Structure 1
Amino acid sequence: MAAGMVPPLAMALASTLLARQKFTPVERENGAAAWLLGASFISEGAIPFAAADPLRVIPASMVGGAITGGLSMLLSVQSFAPHGGIFVFFAINPFWGFALAIVAGTVVTALIVVALKGIGRSTKDAAVAEDAPAATVAA
């Protein structure tokens, strides 16, 4: 469960706190919602980010998820609830290990996404494409 929480939490962290200027206004708005989605283990909070920029978001999420999963195993974290995110904290043992793994994976993923956003596509280009009518973009 822990690794599935990382992508939306990391996108929320990157787009609302770490590097707002590297994200479009719509992505920043999605980032605000991704905080609650990630905390609830609703991984779909990262889909808008992955759909808009798959070559940066997906590899970063894979690295952060792997770190989270590895730490969870290393710390012998057990979850007795199949779903629920932080809201089933009472069914996770040890909870501190669970939280540590999620924080580590989230921070690593967010930092990688921010670093990769600095390569290639600019926010200005993305904002222009987002604001342009579909006919203009297709032409």
Structure 2
Amino acid sequence: MLKDQYTATGHAGSNDCNNALNRVTWIVASKGGTVHDITIGDCVELQHAIGEHQTNGYHGKHLFYALLAGLGVFGPDAPARLKTVMLPGQLTPAALVDRQGITCTAIRDLLVDYLTERAVDVDYTTTRDMT
């Protein structure tokens, strides 16, 4: 079933296919259920776990997600790419300041207020670069 989906995507390289199938198998083996029980969260969890232990990736590392999405496992509204799910969105000014680990509440609150006020007039990248 997954190999047929792999062939239909037009991807070349049996190593990529084997790695994708291994990842799907790992999720099913560790979580239980069937391939159709896999969730997007399972895929994200696997990618984070692999990222902690793998120093170099391979070209088709997100292929397993594309195969599952192509089979309709995640439903019609699922993002087409795992990278879309894993990318963080824009952080709030408070979250940007909190990344700095400021322990003084008064200073932290002052910076949050400043960034919140400035964020109205500048783009997100400029706001993020101010922290």
TM range (shorter): under 0.3
Tell which has more relative contact order, 1 or 2 (C-alpha 8 A, sep 6+).
1
TM-score (norm 1): 0.26
> Which structure has the larger Rg over C-alpha atoms?
2
> Could you state the TM-score of these two structures normalised by the residue count of structure 2?
0.27
